């Protein structure tokens, strides 16, 4: 069990706060013809098709080397009956089958067993399926042939498992996961399993160790909890056979569906004087430790023609890692003379477990260009990580994005600011009908493109799914996310978790709820809905004081992030929870930001207004992963001739695709609702 949080974290993130907040693989794909897309749109989408990740961008590398190894207890005690009419080993075989059926096709996966070959040995461990492109039949066959026999050399098996996984790479790092399944404690003593886990995972950046205790208690459970904590992972308790299958699937899906980062490697400095200079239009990867501050710099233009510049930092902790409510990121941008031009703070606001967190700042020039922050020169960005003493100490990968916006055409008069929600407020009418099955992305880079409609997806606890919706000038995004009526686990007490959604404008700028919506609610397994949306997109919104209005200043892709709290693992009987998204884009799009701009057709409505700069990455206006919106024709950026960079991104297609199999256990299980 996790130790108690600090007194401060408990005070801030307990029931009162929750009540208040309630109010890998590479593959090339050619661009699909419009007719083929339209034909597919007419049919219900398959349940578990993964969105392709973002295309390759010159000078960037993607975290595509994620991998998984199952380390399975095959000691003599696994021959004991588990209360289901089967032996523990038989139930473990079934659980492994459930896991591999839920993983993406070709996801690098291996299987190691210990205690299967010798009656009395502390080095008895064997790799029965090497880590490689997922071979479901091979893993099932291999585990079917394992017979429980010997001791429980957990420490030795963990050492071997870490060596089985692909090594970390500086140019293309990835997250490797070991999922340990055991029905008891280590019986050898040397090497100590907790010490091994701590040494292997070190800073927690590229290796995670999860542990599942199958019908364990007392000393054995404490040891497995220690292994998971030292390995920056999660401990899952499985008192029954069905629990083992559920928790094994959850752990595997967290490995496979973790945030897929993209960017050029950079190392932030420890002072502003040494800050590395970033290029406009660039996307970068760095890491940050607890209590650490990193500095970056960028040379920006100035005067009356100065461009608006957005800088966003997304921290990606291990899914479900120990966090406190006030943990998070702080980001500040300063002018060449040290004046503060923007500041943002993003924190978890809960202590259940880590999820991606994004802070973003903007340099928005004044109308007359006469302020200190309007001047040209070398601007600095200060990124800090706040962390409670009891929070997980792993370093976080951080994805940085620096984008410049196209300036308003000379002499153009922009439309007035839009500070009200019109017909897109909390009582707005949203699409109805039968939901179509989709699978959201893992982050900003592979967010699933959606159009207006009703969509259905699944989430496991501590997971965030990502989507993006094109929104044009004068239009506004409005959506609801409905969580299903879930079968609940039998247990004492009334456990609760939370569900949350967050909207991001182009440039990855967080959009607050403005007290109009309820983007976060408690979750107890019963049906619950969260809502969000934006005001209409207007150029002049940038001058408004409200954080719900100011970021909604540019047409382009608006991101939707949907999170299921880690605590839902104590509630839901099934591995995953189903959600329905009702998405609408209200208003008639205009061709540009000018007050007299004519209304646009579907093609002209999606110009994000991003300047082509740096290494070719935009700041949110185009389809960053080459994927078209679900159920739509060719990407609007192509139809509108949105610049050579946008055309190349779409025409090139996704540079790798991971295709997910149907989540048989999670999606087809009997539910309390009628979805």
pLDDT tier for residue 368 given thresholds of 50, 70 and 90: confident
Provide the mean pLDDT of the chain.
Answer: 83
From residue 435, give the alpha-carbon distance in Å to each of 264, 316, 523, 563.
Answer: 38, 30, 22, 19
Q: Which residue has the tokens 């140019």?
A: 171
- Rounded distance between C-alpha atoms, residue 109 and residue 176, angstroms: 10
Average pLDDT rounded to a whole number, residues 433-446: 96
**Terminal Cα distance for the chain, rounded:** 35
* Sequence-ordered list of residues with C-beta below 8 angstroms from that of 484, at least 6 positions apart, any chain: 527, 577, 578, 579, 580, 671, 672, 673, 675
| Least confident interval from 257-266, 518-527, 619-628 | 619-628
| Least confident interval from 363-372, 419-428, 509-518, 610-619 | 610-619
Closest CA to 619 of 596, 643, 598: 643
Would you state the structure tokens that stand for residue 426, as one six-digit string? Answer: 């909390």
| DSSP structure class, residue 385 | E
Average pLDDT rounded to a whole number, residues 264-288: 96
DSSP symbols for 468-489:
EEEE-BT-EEEEEEEE----B-
* Beta-bridge mates of residue 278: 298
Backbone angles phi, psi at 470, to 5 degrees: -70, 130
Backbone angles phi, psi at 498, to 5 degrees: -150, 160
- Rounded distance between C-alpha atoms, residue 611 and residue 620, angstroms: 11
Helix (H, G, I), strand (E, B), or coil: what is residue 130?
A: strand
- Rounded distance between C-alpha atoms, residue 501 and residue 579, angstroms: 12
From residue 185, give the alpha-carbon distance in Å to each of 98, 234, 239.
Answer: 25, 17, 15
In contact, 212 and 231? CB cutoff 8 Å: no
- Rounded distance between C-alpha atoms, residue 237 and residue 224, angstroms: 10
Q: Give pLDDT, residue 34.
A: 35
* Beta-bridge mates of residue 293: 384
| DSSP structure class, residue 401 | E
Q: Judging by DSSP bridges, how do beta strands 453-459 and 476-483 pair with one another?
A: unpaired
Backbone angles phi, psi at 333, to 5 degrees: -115, 135
Q: Give pLDDT, residue 28.
A: 32
Q: Give pLDDT, residue 304.
A: 67
Helix (H, G, I), strand (E, B), or coil: what is residue 37?
A: helix
13-22 pLDDT, tens per residue?
Answer: 433 333 333 3
- Rounded distance between C-alpha atoms, residue 73 and residue 227, angstroms: 15
* Beta-bridge mates of residue 530: 481
Would you state the structure tokens that stand for residue 253, as one six-digit string? Answer: 């899906």
Given a cut of 80, is residue 23 above it in pLDDT?
Answer: no
- Rounded distance between C-alpha atoms, residue 635 and residue 627, angstroms: 8
Backbone angles phi, psi at 414, to 5 degrees: -70, 155
Q: How many CA atoms lie within 13 A of 538 on its CB side?
A: 22
pLDDT tier for residue 172 given thresholds of 50, 70 and 90: low
Would you state the structure tokens that stand for residue 464, as one six-digit string? Answer: 């965030």
Given a cut of 80, is residue 90 above it in pLDDT?
Answer: yes
* Sequence-ordered list of residues with C-beta below 8 angstroms from that of 411, at least 6 positions apart, any chain: none
Q: Give pLDDT, residue 171.
A: 59
For the entire predicted model, the pTM comes to 0.83
Exposure of 337 by Cβ count < 10 A (0-12 exposed, 13-18 middle, 19+ buried)?
exposed
Q: What is the CA radius of gyration of the chain?
A: 25
- Rounded distance between C-alpha atoms, residue 479 and residue 429, angstroms: 10
Given a cut of 90, is residue 562 above it in pLDDT?
Answer: yes
Give CA torsion, residues 192, 196, 199, 201, to 10 deg.
Answer: -140
577-630 pLDDT, tens per residue?
Answer: 999 999 999 999 999 999 999 998 754 444 445 443 333 333 333 333 334 445
In contact, 262 and 228? CB cutoff 8 Å: no
419-436 pLDDT, tens per residue?
Answer: 999 999 999 999 999 999
Given a cut of 70, is residue 651 above it in pLDDT?
Answer: no
Residues in the chain: 675
Q: Give pLDDT, residue 521.
A: 97
Closest CA to 316 of 364, 378, 231, 254: 254
Would you state the structure tokens that stand for residue 51, as one six-digit string? Answer: 């969105």
């Amino acid at each position: 069990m996790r130790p108690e949080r600090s007194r401060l974290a408990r005070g801030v993130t307990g029931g009162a706060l929750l009540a208040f907040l309630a109010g890998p693989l590479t593959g090339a794909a050619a661009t699909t013809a419009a007719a083929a897309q339209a034909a597919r749109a007419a049919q219900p989408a398959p349940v578990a098709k993964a969105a392709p990740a973002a295309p390759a961008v010159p000078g960037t590398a993607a975290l595509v080397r994620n991998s998984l190894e199952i380390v399975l207890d095959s000691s003599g005690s696994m021959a004991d009956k588990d209360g289901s009419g089967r032996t523990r080993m038989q139930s473990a075989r079934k659980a492994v089958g459930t896991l591999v059926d839920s993983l993406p096709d070709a996801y690098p996966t291996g299987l190691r067993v210990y205690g299967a070959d010798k009656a009395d040995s502390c080095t008895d461990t064997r790799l029965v399926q090497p880590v490689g492109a997922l071979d479901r039949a091979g893993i099932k066959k291999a585990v079917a042939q394992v017979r429980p026999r010997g001791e429980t050399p957990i420490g030795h098996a963990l050492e071997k498992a870490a060596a089985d996984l692909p090594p970390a790479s500086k140019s293309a790092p990835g997250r490797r996961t070991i999922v340990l399944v055991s029905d008891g404690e280590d019986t050898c003593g040397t090497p100590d399993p907790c010490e091994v886990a701590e040494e292997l995972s070190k800073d927690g950046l590229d290796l995670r160790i999860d542990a599942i205790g199958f019908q364990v208690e007392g000393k054995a459970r404490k040891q497995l909890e220690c292994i998971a904590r030292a390995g920056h992972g999660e401990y899952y308790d499985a008192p029954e056979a069905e629990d083992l299958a559920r928790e094994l699937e959850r752990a595997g899906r967290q490995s496979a569906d973790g945030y897929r980062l993209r960017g050029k490697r950079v190392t932030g400095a420890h002072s502003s004087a040494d800050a590395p200079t970033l290029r406009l239009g660039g996307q970068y990867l760095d890491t940050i430790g607890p209590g650490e501050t990193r500095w970056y710099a960028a040379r920006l233009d100035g005067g009356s023609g100065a461009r608006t510049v957005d800088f966003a930092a997304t921290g990606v902790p291990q899914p479900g890692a120990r966090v406190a409510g006030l943990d998070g990121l702080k980001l500040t941008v300063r002018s060449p003379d040290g004046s503060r031009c923007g500041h943002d703070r993003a924190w978890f606001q809960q202590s259940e477990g880590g999820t991606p967190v994004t802070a973003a700042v903007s340099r928005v020039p004044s109308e007359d260009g006469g302020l200190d922050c309007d001047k040209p020169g070398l601007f600095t960005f200060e990124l800090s990580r706040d962390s409670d003493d009891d929070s997980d100490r792993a370093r976080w990968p951080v994805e940085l994005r620096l984008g410049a916006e196209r300036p308003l055409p000379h002499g153009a008069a922009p439309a007035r600011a839009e500070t009200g929600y019109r017909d897109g407020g909390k009582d707005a009418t949203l699409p109805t009908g039968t939901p179509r099955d989709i699978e959201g992305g893992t982050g900003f880079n592979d967010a699933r493109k959606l159009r207006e409609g009703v969509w259905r997806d699944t989430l496991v606890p501590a997971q965030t799914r990502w989507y993006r919706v094109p929104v044009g000038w004068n239009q506004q995004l409005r959506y609801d996310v409905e969580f299903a009526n879930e079968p609940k686990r039998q247990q004492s007490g009334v456990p609760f978790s939370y569900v949350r959604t967050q909207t991001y404008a182009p440039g990855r700028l967080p959009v607050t709820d403005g007290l109009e919506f309820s983007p976060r609610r408690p979750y107890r397994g019963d049906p619950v809905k969260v809502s969000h949306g934006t005001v209409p997109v207007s150029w002049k919104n940038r001058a408004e004081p409200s954080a719900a209005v100011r970021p909604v200043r540019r047409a382009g892709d608006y991101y939707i992030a949907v999170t299921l709290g880690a605590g839902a693992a104590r509630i839901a009987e099934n591995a995953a929870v189903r959600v329905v998204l009702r998405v609408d884009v209200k208003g008639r799009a205009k061709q540009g930001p000018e007050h007299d701009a004519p209304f646009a057709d579907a093609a002209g409505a999606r110009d994000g207004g991003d300047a082509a700069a740096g290494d070719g990455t935009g700041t949110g206006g185009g389809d960053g992963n080459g994927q078209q919106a679900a159920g739509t024709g060719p990407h609007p950026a192509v139809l509108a001739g949105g610049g050579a960079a946008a055309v190349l991104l779409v025409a090139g297609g996704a540079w790798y695709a991971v295709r997910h199999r149907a989540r048989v256990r999670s999606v087809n299980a009997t539910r309390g609702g009628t979805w």
